[in-house]
Amino acid sequence: MKYRSTRGQVSGQSFEDVVLEGLAADGGLYIPEQIPQLPADWQTKWAQLSFVELATELIYLFVGSDLTRDQLSQLVSKSYSTFDTPQVAPLVPLSDMHVLELFHGPTFAFKDVALQFLGNLFEFFLQRRNSRGEASRLTVVGATSGDTGSAAIYGLRGKDKVDVFILHPKDRVSAIQEAQMTTVLDENVHNVAVQGTFDDCQDIVKHLFGQKEFRQKYSLGAVNSINWARILAQITYYFSSFFALRRQYPEAIPRFVVPSGNFGDILAGFYAQSLGLPVERLVVATNSNDILDRFLKSGTYEKNAEEGVLATPSPAMDILVSSNFERFLWYLARDHEVSEDITDAAEREQKAGEIIAQWMDKLKTQGSFSVSPKALHAARKIFGSGRCSDSQTLDTIAKYYAQEPSYLLDPHTAVGVYVAENTRDSDAHIICLSTAHPAKFSDAVLKAVNDNGHQLDFGSILPPPLVGILEKPRRCFDCENSPDKVAAHIINKVKL
């Protein structure tokens, strides 16, 4: 298995290379050169596998010769031993749909599914390189709107030969999200509060990766969902939830509704479907930062430049530009934008990379680009979408807390549930991905419940690891919105 960049200038990379590099040298994102084939009997052969066993089967299709099956199995088993249930991602009923609970990892967010695995991958590949006499270390640099940061830190804390720098927008993450990051005092963990938005943090990260000399000297690695291994690990729970649903409804074909910010979570669903998983539809659920919903309605991918990033009760989705969308756009360009006169597969793939590079340049310089009607029609065949306002988010939390049996949604999952309710057009078997534990968003959850005539004892839902976290000692570096200032901080902290 080899990998190429979405922008066409890099190809033939190994799985190990793309994991450690994160972002391609041409600024693109890595995608597999081919979508592998599932075993012909996968629906029966894999139906009773545990989550760990299923993850091993799926991930092994993409690693080439870089990991043996036994090595991969050990890494996967180690990664999910930190979860509070052997199911890892249990499927639970909620009214007339199902919720896929992805918050049973150490930081109570869906990012743990990928980042526990990615942290162990980093450590394995670095140890192997050092054992060969290749002096290798990694400086991981990531941006977070809340959950990626703590999940990355918990996945990498104390790892040998790894420093991790996590940039978060100052005062734009929840109190518990900030505490989960900044109370980790391991020497290799460095938190940076940037005076700006998540998009500013993400732009800084991309800028640093674009500085060739700096990137090579400090061996930069990525933990954001620009790293292919993040997407790969998340494919598993689409398959596990499919099997869980089929145990109840043997002929069911699920519709997945996914709260979406950076597009990584639902992109994993796209790859699951591309592998052959039966999927009725993938539905993008956005908050007021709705670039994805607007694209799927208009065919124009446009920054909301006048208003900028809007602060909402679901801060992990407060994003102006969805970085991972570039991966899906590559397939859209190859299949529906490249001239039909070009029949050679390699030439079509190269042309797709050129189109993506042009689109991304337009987005950067003009703030938008548009796809053809043919491409938009193709995108709509795969994805539906919907938008949820702040008040609708809070009302949805209150509604499901008040019903019997009571269920407490976090604000991101509430966005998904609201969109699921309002895009239902059939007797679809809906699975809404639940991306975080409600305790991580106390202000929004308490406001939703208490303002609607109910009383919530927040202490009763707080997981034991979060009890007292707001009072723990912290370490964080406050920084201007400047790539140079962040680079200087990295240079000061990393000992080569």
- As annotated, the active-site residues are 111
| C-alpha 221, offset from chain centre | 16
Quote the CA–CA distance of 37 and 394 in Å, as a whole number: 43
Sign of the C-alpha dihedral, residues 100, 104, 105, 111?
positive
User: Which residues, at least 6 apart from 33, have a Cβ–Cβ distance to it below 8 Å?
Assistant: 1, 2, 3, 4, 11, 12
Quote the CA–CA distance of 183 and 64 in Å, as a whole number: 38
Interhelix angle 147-156/175-182, rounded to 10 degrees, is: 20
Identity of residue 392: Q
Quote the CA–CA distance of 152 and 200 in Å, as a whole number: 19
Cα–Cα distance list, 359 to 302, 438, 466 (Å): 11, 37, 43
Quote the CA–CA distance of 419 and 61 in Å, as a whole number: 33
What is residue 458's DSSP assignment? G
Omega cis (within 30) before 405: yes
H-type alpha helices, 218-337: 228-248, 264-275, 291-298, 325-336
User: Which residues, at least 6 apart from 196, have a Cβ–Cβ distance to it below 8 Å?
Assistant: 169, 170, 481
Residues in the chain: 496
User: Which residues, at least 6 apart from 446, have a Cβ–Cβ distance to it below 8 Å?
Assistant: 456, 458
> Which tokens is 430 given?
């809906």
Burial of residue 471 (number of CB atoms within 10 Å: 0-12, 13-18, 19+) = exposed
